[in-house]
Chain A
Amino acid sequence: MVIKTEPFVVNIGPAHPSTHGVFRMRATLDGEVVLDIEPVFGYLHRGIEKLAEERTYTQIIPLTDRLDYLASMSNNLAYVLAVEKLAGIAVPERAEYLRVIMAELQRIASHLIGVGAFLNDCGAFMTPILYMIREREKILDLFEMVCGQRLTYNYMRIGGVSHDIPEEFLPALKKFVDSMPGFIDEYDQLLKENEILLARSKGVGILSREQAINISASGPVLRASGVKWDIRKVDPYSIYDRFGFEVPTGSAGDCYDRYRVRVEEMRQSVRILKQAVEKLPAGEVRSEVSHLVRPPAGEAYGHIEAPRGELGFYLVSDNSIAPYRFHVRAPSLLNLTALREMVVGWKVADVLAIFGSIDICMGEADR
């Protein structure tokens, strides 16, 4: 007897615990196998790009906190870099170092959640992520000490940072930097050779080098596919050219490589932090810039290597106190476009693992 079957359409999300926010995937299934997948965006759209056009340049900084809420410091940094480029504002030396310290701490914090959430999606429910949240908590403590909040930092300012660090910050940071490699080793011992994780992620969701470049993926997704591309190296912003660090890359472009690249990046961030703490100069943390910045008419694009990839802010000024156009190049959104290439042919359970390995933040993808 021949059973007549036909493809079946299933909605994964928008309110699904594995979609890291509100994201909907319309999956066409043949039994368990995914034939096609269509991402549906826009469930978290808040119109931040339009809101920003009605605010002054300083007032936009708290808005950028709310884009990628797991890496607010990086968002702050990318935005103020764009404004400084537009208005030609110089930043004091100490502020540059503080910015690098904050950005790298934020990268570790974000990757901890990224790796932990990926393992959550792989089925290691809540155990590994709690080890990682413990270390993230220490970073959040440091951020809270400096800027007074744990999620929406609003720390960077145009022409520097809002406050100097309190005196107890550096000893605490040194302690963190010294202990962090030990904790990363602990995660590796816990997970690196775990057979279940290997079976779930090795060879799953392969994104080839060509595909990754064609969809303009960035960040760990691109580097796991074997492309050595890091904005900190290829277009050094701030003072990143003064630090020695490696750009870890993968070879296969599968979920396991993406996970490994994130863990190795954390080690490199610790390395940068060590150098930055040693070299941190004394001095001013903010140059004399008015709260109402009025850049000359023109346009500027400032981009950084955020934890999720190339984060860019494109600003057009018409010589008023608010930008004429404000556009965000969000790495989450562009990395998500690789989803279809990766998941077709895999089972539903693998879809969530692959989706988790991209490490997206919907606040940024929909903005």
Chain B
Amino acid sequence: MKFERYGAGIAKGMVVTLKHLFRHPVTTQYPEERLTVSRRTRGNELIWDRERCTGCATCAKSCPQGAIRIVTSRGEENDYIVEEFRVDSGYCIFCGLCVESCPYEALFMGYGYERARYRRRELVLNKEELLTSEKKQPSGYARPKVEAALPPQTLLLDRDGVKK
């Protein structure tokens, strides 16, 4: 092992380190300071629109994990009545194929990212838990109308060149 030039290269590197002392930090203090996620976030928990859903089960067929279970019965006007719509989000890989394949735009990805649970059984969502609520916002993934209404994503790129 040779040591050449008395560490001139190390000193050169140190200049970079020194410069960074006067730079705005790129990190954020997470629970206090929050970044806005992408408008197309494939976030936690699917959201189901009870009125639009016809019970065609295209989402269940397109799911690679088999996480969606739909049970329907025949209604009076020869339509489907959705008896059961159950999503096991423990199996969900958030690929978004169900949302993309839905022909009636009745399924949305979630916009949230803080929906951890203590029990595995709480991950299984039934019809009522899948509806949208104050805590559960739909994301704009494959839904351009929802996307346009959401706030723009914060980018680290915008922090370039910001002085301390």
Interface residues of A (CB under 8 A from B): 55, 58-63, 65, 127, 134, 137-138, 141, 144-149, 152, 154, 162-163, 166, 168, 172, 175-176, 179, 186, 189-196, 198-199, 291
B119 at the interface (CB under 8 A from A): no
Contacts of B5 in A (CB 8 A): 195
B96 at the interface (CB under 8 A from A): yes
User: Are B156 and A138 in contact, with the CB atoms below 8 A?
Assistant: yes
User: Are A141 and B16 in contact, with the CB atoms below 8 A?
Assistant: no
Known: A154-B96, A195-B5. A189 touches B13 (CB 8 A): yes
Interface of B is mostly: loop
User: Are B160 and A175 in contact, with the CB atoms below 8 A?
Assistant: yes
Not counting A149-B94, A194-B9, A195-B9, a sample of 17 additional A-B residue pairs whose C-beta atoms are within 8 angstroms of each other reads A58-B97, A59-B62, A59-B63, A59-B64, A59-B97, A63-B64, A138-B156, A141-B153, A148-B96, A152-B93, A163-B40, A166-B39, A166-B40, A172-B155, A179-B157, A195-B10, A198-B4
In this complex, the member of B5, B16, B37, B139 whose beta carbon has the largest number of chain A beta carbons within 10 angstroms is: B16
A194 to B152, CA, bound (A): 41
CB distance from B37 to the nearest CB of A (A): 7
A59 to B64, CA, bound (A): 5
Known: A63-B64, A163-B142, A199-B1. A148 touches B41 (CB 8 A): yes
B71 at the interface (CB under 8 A from A): no
User: Are B10 and A138 in contact, with the CB atoms below 8 A?
Assistant: no
Contacts of A186 in B (CB 8 A): 16
Contacts of B7 in A (CB 8 A): 195
User: Are A192 and B9 in contact, with the CB atoms below 8 A?
Assistant: yes
Q: Interface 1/0s, chain B 79-101, versus A by CB < 8 A?
A: 00000000000000111110011
Known: A145-B153, A148-B141. A189 touches B1 (CB 8 A): no
Known: A134-B26, A137-B156, A152-B94. A193 touches B16 (CB 8 A): no
User: Are B13 and A144 in contact, with the CB atoms below 8 A?
Assistant: no
Known: A189-B13, A193-B8. A146 touches B62 (CB 8 A): no
Contacts of B2 in A (CB 8 A): 199
User: Are A168 and B142 in contact, with the CB atoms below 8 A?
Assistant: no
User: Are B10 and A179 in contact, with the CB atoms below 8 A?
Assistant: no
In this complex, the member of A146, A149, A172, A196 whose beta carbon has the largest number of chain B beta carbons within 10 angstroms is: A149
User: Are B157 and A141 in contact, with the CB atoms below 8 A?
Assistant: yes
Which residue of the partner chain, among A58, A141, A198, contacts B155 with CB atoms under 8 Å? A141
CB distance from A252 to the nearest CB of B (A): 16
A59 to B66, CA, bound (A): 11
Contacts of B162 in A (CB 8 A): none
Q: Smallest CB-CB separation from B141: which chain A residue?
A: A148
Known: A172-B157, A176-B157, A194-B9. A146 touches B40 (CB 8 A): yes
User: Are A134 and B40 in contact, with the CB atoms below 8 A?
Assistant: no
User: Are B62 and A58 in contact, with the CB atoms below 8 A?
Assistant: yes
The 9 closest A-B pairs by CB, nearest first: A193-B9, A62-B95, A59-B64, A148-B40, A148-B42, A144-B38, A190-B13, A190-B16, A194-B9
User: Are A138 and B64 in contact, with the CB atoms below 8 A?
Assistant: no
Contacts of B95 in A (CB 8 A): 61-62, 65, 152, 154
Which residue of the partner chain, among B40, B62, B153, contacts A291 with CB atoms under 8 Å? B62
Contacts of B152 in A (CB 8 A): 168
Contacts of B153 in A (CB 8 A): 141, 144-145, 168
A262 to B154, CA, bound (A): 29
Contacts of A147 in B (CB 8 A): 40, 42
Interface residues of B in 1-25 (CB under 8 A from A): 1-5, 7-10, 12-13, 15-17
CB distance from B95 to the nearest CB of A (A): 4
CB distance from A194 to the nearest CB of B (A): 5
Q: Interface 1/0s, chain B 102-143, versus A by CB < 8 A?
A: 000000010000000000000000000000000000010110
Contacts of A127 in B (CB 8 A): 17
A224 to B95, CA, bound (A): 36
A241 to B152, CA, bound (A): 35
User: Are A144 and B12 in contact, with the CB atoms below 8 A?
Assistant: no
A230 to B10, CA, bound (A): 33
Known: A146-B40, A148-B40, A152-B93. A189 touches B157 (CB 8 A): no
A205 to B33, CA, bound (A): 45
Contacts of B37 in A (CB 8 A): 144
CB distance from B39 to the nearest CB of A (A): 7
CB distance from A323 to the nearest CB of B (A): 14
Which residue of the partner chain, among A60, A148, A152, A195, contacts B38 with CB atoms under 8 Å? A148
A70 to B38, CA, bound (A): 20
Q: Smallest CB-CB separation from B5: which chain A residue?
A: A195
Contacts of B96 in A (CB 8 A): 148, 154, 162
User: Are A148 and B157 in contact, with the CB atoms below 8 A?
Assistant: no
Which residue of the partner chain, among B4, B39, B93, B100, contacts A162 with CB atoms under 8 Å? B100
CB distance from B138 to the nearest CB of A (A): 12
